[in-house]
Structure 1
Amino acid sequence: MLRHRKYKHLLGFICISLAYSACKVPVLVEKTADRTVPASYNNSQDTTNIAKASWKEYFTDPDLSALIDTALKNNQELNITLQEIEIARNEIRARKGEYLPFVGIKGGAGFDKVGRYTSRGASEANLDIKPGRETPEPLPDFLAGAFASWEIDIWNKLHNSKKAAINKYLATVEGKNFVITNLIAEIANSYYELLALDNQLAIVTQNIEIQNNALKVVKLQKEATRVTELAVRRFEAEVLNTTSLQYDIQQQIVETENRINFLLGRYPQPIPRNREAFERPLPSSIHAGLPAQLLDNRPDIKQAEMELAASKLDVKVAKAAFYPSLGISAGIGYQAFNPKYLIRTPESLLYSLGADLVAPLVNKNAIKADYSSANAKQIQAVYQYERTILNAYIEVANQLAKVDNLKQSYDLKTKQVQALMQSITISNNLFGSARADYMEVLLTQRDALESRFELVETRMKQMHALVDIYKALGGGWN
Structure 2
Amino acid sequence: MTTNNYSWRGWAAIAACALLLGSCKVPQATKAKENKYTPNSYAGAAEPAQVDSTNIGNLSWRTFFNDPQLVSLIDTALKNNQELRITLQELEIAKNDILLRKGALKPKVDIRAGGGIEKVGRYTSQGAGDASTEIRPGHEMPDPLGDLTLGAYANWEIDVWKKLKDAEQAAVNRYLASVEGKNFVLSSLIAEVANSYFELLALDNQLEIIRQNIKLQENALEVVKIQKESARVTELAVQKFTAEVAKTKGMEFSTLQQIKETENRINFLLGRYPQTIERDQNSFVNLVPASVKTGFPSQLLGNRPDIMQAEHELAAAKLDVQVARKEFYPSIGLSAGVGLQAFKPSFLFKLPESLLYNLAGELAAPLINKNAITAEFNSANARQIQAIYNYERTILNAYTEVSTQLSNIDNLEKGFAYKSQEVAALNKSIEVSNDLFKSARADYLEVLTTQREVLEAKLELLETKKQQLSAVVNVYKALGGGWKP
Q: TM-score, normalised by structure 1?
A: 0.98
Q: Aligned pair 1:114/2:115, yes or no?
A: no
Going from structure 1 to structure 2, the CA distance change for 1:284 and 1:56 (only over 3 Å counts) comes to closer
Q: Aligned pair 1:425/2:431, yes or no?
A: yes
Q: Aligned pair 1:213/2:219, yes or no?
A: yes
Q: Which amino acid letter does the alignment assign opposite residue 10 of structure 2? A: H
Write out aligned runs for 1:350-389 (5 A).
Answer: 350-389=356-395
Contact 1:111/1:140 (8 A) holds in 2 = yes
Deviation sequence 1:287-332 (CA, Å, 0-9, x none)? 0000000000000000001111111111111111111111111111
Offset of residue 128 of structure 1? 2.5
2:338 corresponds in structure 1 to 332
Q: Which amino acid letter does the alignment assign opposite residue 50 of structure 1? A: I
Q: Which amino acid letter does the alignment assign opposite residue 306 of structure 1? A: H
Write out aligned runs for 1:448-463 (5 A).
Answer: 448-463=454-469
Offset of residue 13 of structure 1? 1.8
1:255 corresponds in structure 2 to 261
Q: Aligned pair 1:47/2:58, yes or no?
A: no
Going from structure 1 to structure 2, the CA distance change for 1:302 and 1:277 (only over 3 Å counts) comes to farther
DSSP-derived class of the 2:136 partner: coil
1:406 corresponds in structure 2 to 412
Matches of 2:286 and 2:99, distance apart in 1: 52
Q: Aligned pair 1:35/2:41, yes or no?
A: no
Q: Aligned pair 1:18/2:24, yes or no?
A: no
Offset of residue 123 of structure 1? 1.8
Going from structure 1 to structure 2, the CA distance change for 1:277 and 1:160 (only over 3 Å counts) comes to farther
Matches of 1:430 and 1:277, distance apart in 2: 32
Matches of 2:292 and 2:339, distance apart in 1: 74
2:299 to 273, 293, 300: 293
Range with bigger deviation, 390-399 or 31-40: 31-40
Write out aligned runs for 1:114-193 (5 A).
Answer: 114-193=120-199
DSSP-derived class of the 2:180 partner: helix
Gaps of 5+ in 1: none
Deviation sequence 1:347-394 (CA, Å, 0-9, x none)? 111111111111011111111111111111111001000000000000
Q: TM-score, normalised by structure 2?
A: 0.97
1:229 corresponds in structure 2 to 235
Going from structure 1 to structure 2, the CA distance change for 1:277 and 1:352 (only over 3 Å counts) comes to farther
Task: Give the 4+ runs in structure 1 shifted more than 3 A.
Answer: none
Contact 2:317/2:387 (8 A) holds in 1 = yes
1:344 corresponds in structure 2 to 350
Contact 1:61/1:277 (8 A) holds in 2 = no
Offset of residue 85 of structure 1? 0.4
Q: Aligned pair 1:68/2:74, yes or no?
A: yes
Identical-residue share of aligned pairs (%): 57
Matches of 1:78 and 1:23, distance apart in 2: 47
Contact 1:78/1:176 (8 A) holds in 2 = yes
Offset of residue 117 of structure 1? 1.5
Matches of 1:230 and 1:15, distance apart in 2: 105
1:103 to 96, 100, 109: 109
Contact 2:149/2:341 (8 A) holds in 1 = yes
DSSP-derived class of the 1:278 partner: coil
1:313 to 306, 310, 319: 319
Q: Which amino acid letter does the alignment assign opposite residue 15 of structure 1? A: A
Range with bigger deviation, 115-124 or 282-291: 282-291
2:449 to 411, 431, 443: 443
Q: Aligned pair 1:477/2:478, yes or no?
A: no
Matches of 1:128 and 1:104, distance apart in 2: 34
Contact 2:433/2:442 (8 A) holds in 1 = yes
Contact 1:126/1:133 (8 A) holds in 2 = no
Deviation sequence 1:382-409 (CA, Å, 0-9, x none)? 1000000000000000000000000000
Matches of 1:373 and 1:284, distance apart in 2: 48
Range with bigger deviation, 422-431 or 36-45: 36-45
Contact 1:113/1:138 (8 A) holds in 2 = yes
Matches of 2:353 and 2:213, distance apart in 1: 105
Going from structure 1 to structure 2, the CA distance change for 1:152 and 1:284 (only over 3 Å counts) comes to closer
Matches of 1:110 and 1:285, distance apart in 2: 80
1:82 corresponds in structure 2 to 88
Offset of residue 11 of structure 1? 1.7
Matches of 2:201 and 2:433, distance apart in 1: 31
Contact 2:285/2:462 (8 A) holds in 1 = no
Matches of 1:55 and 1:8, distance apart in 2: 72
Matches of 1:151 and 1:172, distance apart in 2: 29
Gaps of 5+ in 2: none
Q: Which amino acid letter does the alignment assign opposite residue 67 of structure 2? A: D
DSSP-derived class of the 1:5 partner: helix
Offset of residue 281 of structure 1? 4.0
**CA RMSD between the two structures:** 1.1
Offset of residue 27 of structure 1? 2.4
DSSP-derived class of the 1:287 partner: coil
Q: Which amino acid letter does the alignment assign opposite residue 372 of structure 1? A: N
Offset of residue 345 of structure 1? 1.4
Offset of residue 277 of structure 1? 5.2
Matches of 1:155 and 1:232, distance apart in 2: 92
1:7 corresponds in structure 2 to 8
Q: Which amino acid letter does the alignment assign opposite residue 29 of structure 2? A: L
Q: How many residues align?
A: 478
Matches of 1:382 and 1:247, distance apart in 2: 52
Q: Which amino acid letter does the alignment assign opposite residue 21 of structure 1? A: G
Offset of residue 255 of structure 1? 0.2
